Amino acid sequence: MTAPLRIDGETRIFPVIGHPIGQVKSPASLSQIMADRGYNGMVVPVHVLPEDLAGWLAQARSMQNCGGIVVTVPHKGACLDFCERVTARARAAAAVNILVRDGDAWVGDATDGVGYMDGIAAEGFDVAGKTALLVGAGGAGSAIAYEILARGASELALHDIDTARRDALIERLNVTFPGRARVGGTDPRGFALVANATPLGMGEGDPLPVCVELLAPDQFVADVVTRPAIPPLIAAARSVGCGTMPGSGMFNAQAVLLAEMLMGVRTIEADRVG
């Protein structure tokens, strides 16, 4: 049985910011986790345009009952610059997906990679010692790339239409994981893990992130897209016989982690920026 939500003058508010925001699933689930733990908090969606981000964050800092912020596209990279302290994985990803208040300071972390890889592990796939192809080097993709290598992938090939962003991420990754990150493409052949970290598949008529006609049954295919529930990439991979994880697997895997960080149950080990 789930606990009823409590809303009163002592409720802690945790916005989820993004543009667009209609696709997010986290407000209800994170709020329910808090209620089930007996914590008086509520997670709410907030639509913030990129040009309004700086002003909005300044206002959020002044809200004394705002204990943290969950960040989604396209603000993950920009929000890093508003943090006084960040984790090593957020620094490597150059992005954050959660800000937690520490007095008047924001502490940032990048948990997308943890959720993505935990979701994949829940489906029985282990990337250790295997090769991986990742499409997308944005905020989520950067965190996922870091976690793929942190979990022991022998090689990670990265593809992004923004080649400067791709190359910058490869350079950062090779500082921590020397020689294990390189440029990739849309050909999935030869990779044990084929991973999408782009929004491709959210919109009707979107192109597929990889050449699905080249997929083989022994590959595992994962996606960040949560709507539709079975993204086109996952549908194509399942038709071939691949093991798969849609975006809901990533979302479910990191929901408790995010809620515990917002509630202060789980400490974020972060260093001062600069």
In this structure, the number of other CB atoms found within 10 A of the CB of residue 125 comes to 19
Distance CA 106, CA 142 (A): 20
Q: Is 76 part of the annotated catalytic residue set?
A: yes
Instruction: Tell me the two tokens of residue 240.
Output: 């071939």
Distance CA 89, CA 91 (A): 5
Closest C-alpha to 138, from 177, 180, 100, 168: 168
Alpha-carbon separation of residue 106 from 81, 87, 159, 174, 192 (angstroms)? 10, 12, 31, 28, 38
Catalytic choice (12, 75, 76, 165): 76
Sequence-distant (6+) residues with CB within 8 A of 72 are: 16, 17, 18, 21, 24, 97
Distance CA 121, CA 81 (A): 32
227 half-sphere exposure, CB direction, 13 A CA radius: 8
The residues assigned a catalytic role are 76
